Homo-oligomer: A and B are copies of this chain.
Amino acid sequence: MIVMNKTCESLRAAVADIADGSVVMIGGFGNSGIPLQLIEALRQHGARDLTIISNNAGVAEIGIASLLKAGQVRKIVCSFPRSSGSIWFERLYEAGDIELELVPQGTLGERIRAAGAGLGGVYTPTGYGTRLAEGKETKVINGKGFVLETALPADVALIKAHRADVWGNLIYNTAGRNFNPIMATAATTTIAEVSDVVSAGELDPECIVTPGIFVDRVVTQEASRHDAA
């Protein structure tokens, strides 16, 4: 029997085929569970005209902000782009140089999950009667109002996990899960940045959070990089 091994030799190789114009999901909540080294590899790779789906828009000049600064991002889909220090997002937004699709955080998660689960969309009560439901289909079910929110898939998901096995099974560190497990399910190609990779069978099957079927490539963090998380 042969051995399945989804390990990728380098961060650079892991992102090498990301094309201009791609829709790219990036896991993380603030700096928790964010794949900083994959983002840096994407910045160096240089793909442009990207649509980024992520909860936040980056702060200072690291993470997603570094992609914004480099002019690689056409559009961002997120729930909370404006954080303390999100200077690059604010600069581009004020100049009209970036498109923003603002989505309530739970709706963002359900739209991502729907894409991964093969659903066309969900009816959520979130946002009903607010500006963020304008132009969307609504429906009253058992007397309660709901908004139709459609599936949000991506070409690529860049995610951060704690540990992988060679089959691509993943476990996370504390609150570092956030969007990572659902984004893993929703992209054509899912690439996971991890602290280390172990053999098949070394992760407790009761405790695996992301089954390997959702993961295409696993890459270990490079300790020498200045952007190590």
Contact residues of A with B, CB < 8 Å? Answer: 110, 114, 117-125, 139, 141-142, 144, 146, 150-151, 171-172, 174, 204-207
* Residues of B close to A139: CB separation below 8 A: 120
Q: Is A123 a contact of B122 with CB atoms below 8 Å?
A: yes
* Residues of B close to A120: CB separation below 8 A: 122-125, 139, 141-142, 144, 146
Given contacts A206-B207, A207-B204, contact A121 B123 (CB under 8 A): yes
Q: Is A206 a contact of B119 with CB atoms below 8 Å?
A: no
Given contacts A150-B141, A204-B207, contact A117 B123 (CB under 8 A): no
Bound Cα distance A121, B120 (Å): 11
* Residues of B close to A123: CB separation below 8 A: 119-122
Most buried by B among A123, A150, A205, A207: A123
Give chain B nearest CB distance to A47 CB in angstroms.
24
A150: nearest chain-B partner, CB-CB:
B141
* Residues of B close to A125: CB separation below 8 A: 118-120
Bound Cα distance A144, B121 (Å): 12
Give chain B nearest CB distance to A141 CB in angstroms.
4
* Residues of B close to A142: CB separation below 8 A: 120
A125: nearest chain-B partner, CB-CB:
B118
Bound Cα distance A206, B203 (Å): 12
Q: Is B124 a contact of A122 with CB atoms below 8 Å?
A: no
* Residues of B close to A207: CB separation below 8 A: 204, 206-207
Given contacts A141-B150, A206-B207, contact A121 B122 (CB under 8 A): yes
* Residues of B close to A206: CB separation below 8 A: 171-172, 174, 207
Bound Cα distance A150, B125 (Å): 13
* Residues of B close to A119: CB separation below 8 A: 110, 122-125, 146
